[in-house]
Amino acid sequence: MLSGIQPTADSFHLGNYLGALRQWVRLQDTHETFYMVVDLHAITVEQDPKVLRQRTRVSAAQLLALGVDPDRSALFVQSHVPEHAQLSWVLECLTGFGEASRMTQFKDKAAKQGADRASVGLFTYPILQAADILLYQAHAVPVGEDQRQHLELSRNLAQRFNHRFGKTFVVPEPHIVKDTAKIYDLQDPTSKMSKSASSPNGLIELLEDPKRSAKKIRSAVTDTGREIVFDPEGKAGVSNLLSIYSALTGKSIEELENSYQDKGYGDLKKDLAEILVEFVTPFQERVKSYLDDISELDKVLARGAEQAREVATRTLAVVYDRVGFLPIG
């Protein structure tokens, strides 16, 4: 199992956690796991160097605080393992220009920046992501729904390389958990929760003041009806709150529908706000304690990079040989 997250915000958000990171933690029980903070991906859009360095550490601290266990997972920073960029180049040479042009995340992000201003790195972003995955021979990749197309490209590139040069890569499967594959914006429950949301009130940041999160939940957009039922088409807002509630408590949607049968939206929101505060408060304390000892945190990341490199160098050596590069003397 391998996955990554970008250090491009001051905090992870609830969509990151429920859609992906919770699965990262669980999969440690059953799989060999590689998890990374993808700083190479982050610089595909402009970053302030000081802020990027800080956010990379805060990202690692959040992963540890959520339960990524460095004794069971290789937890590392992408730029510490140079083989990612090296494999990416080889895969870029196997990717069609048209194929890369069809990536919807690129099209959306480039449109926001003005197509001419988007970097070439933003264009090749999904190929670097394929390199991330294929380097570790990952069988599955825990992500949210928005990464499905990138995963499809990784699969195609693995198959293409294997076909052309002989079996080299495992063809990875997306590991997307249906109930939480897409957490929606609280103010606009037909769009996904995202750090680039139009209103900050639609986004729950795990490191923001818990009182603020509670307020956002209490003022989440719901419809004019009264019934608390799961109906993503007709009742997008309420359904999103039910999904979040269910994921945070382990109670099934059906159970929740039953227990809120005679209650109103206000009750649901009030209870969910409390549940969220109970979750984020101790989480924030753990993050703080990891950040209080940066030298220890950096050591954990160095150890993770070493473990990752052991695997990455092996794969890259095979790839270089297969494509016909001359070995060093």
Which residues contact ligand TYM by CB under 6 A?
2-6, 15-16, 19-20, 38, 41, 129, 132-133, 141, 143-144, 146-147, 150, 182-183, 192-194
112 as an active site residue: the answer is no
196 is in an annotated binding site: yes
15 is in an annotated binding site: yes
194 is in an annotated binding site: yes
**Which of 109, 216, 235, 269 is labelled catalytic?**
109
Alpha-carbon distance of 293 to 159, in angstroms, equals 44
145 is in an annotated binding site: yes
Residue 240 C-beta: closest distance to ligand TYM, Å: 10
Which one, 145 or 223, has the nearer CB to ligand TYM? Answer: 145
N- to C-terminal Cα distance for the chain?
A: 35
16 is in an annotated binding site: yes
Who contacts 83 (Cβ-Cβ below 8 Å, separation ≥6)?
135, 309, 312, 313, 315, 316
Which one, 88 or 222, has the nearer CB to ligand TYM? Answer: 88
Residue 328 C-beta: closest distance to ligand TYM, Å: 29
Q: What is the full DSSP assignment across 95-139?
A: S-HHHHHT-HHHHHHHHHH-GGGS-HHHHHHHHHHHHHHHHTT-S
Cβ pair 143, 20 in contact under 8 A: yes
Which one, 8 or 222, has the nearer CB to ligand TYM? Answer: 8
Q: What is the full DSSP assignment across 2-59?
A: EEEE---SSS-BHHHIIIIIHHHHHHTTTS-EEEEE-HHHHTTS---HHHHHHHHHHH
Residue 262 C-beta: closest distance to ligand TYM, Å: 31
H or E element at residue 77: strand 73-77
Residue 36 C-beta: closest distance to ligand TYM, Å: 7
Cβ pair 32, 75 in contact under 8 A: no
Q: What is the full DSSP assignment across 193-206?
A: --TT-SSGGG--BT
**Which of 50, 112, 182, 192 is labelled catalytic?**
192
DSSP state of 169: S
- Local structure of 82: helix, strand or coil: coil
232 is in an annotated binding site: no
109 as an active site residue: the answer is yes
192 as an active site residue: the answer is yes
7 is in an annotated binding site: yes
Which one, 41 or 235, has the nearer CB to ligand TYM? Answer: 41
Nearest residue to ligand TYM by CB is 19
Residue 160 C-beta: closest distance to ligand TYM, Å: 18
Which one, 243 or 260, has the nearer CB to ligand TYM? Answer: 243
Alpha-carbon distance of 76 to 81, in angstroms, equals 8
The catalytic site residues sit at 109, 192, 195
Annotated binding-site residues for ATP read: 6-8, 15-16, 144-146, 183, 192-196
The annotated binding site for L-tryptophan is made up of 132
Annotated binding-site ranges: 6-8, 15-16, 132, 144-146, 183, 192-196
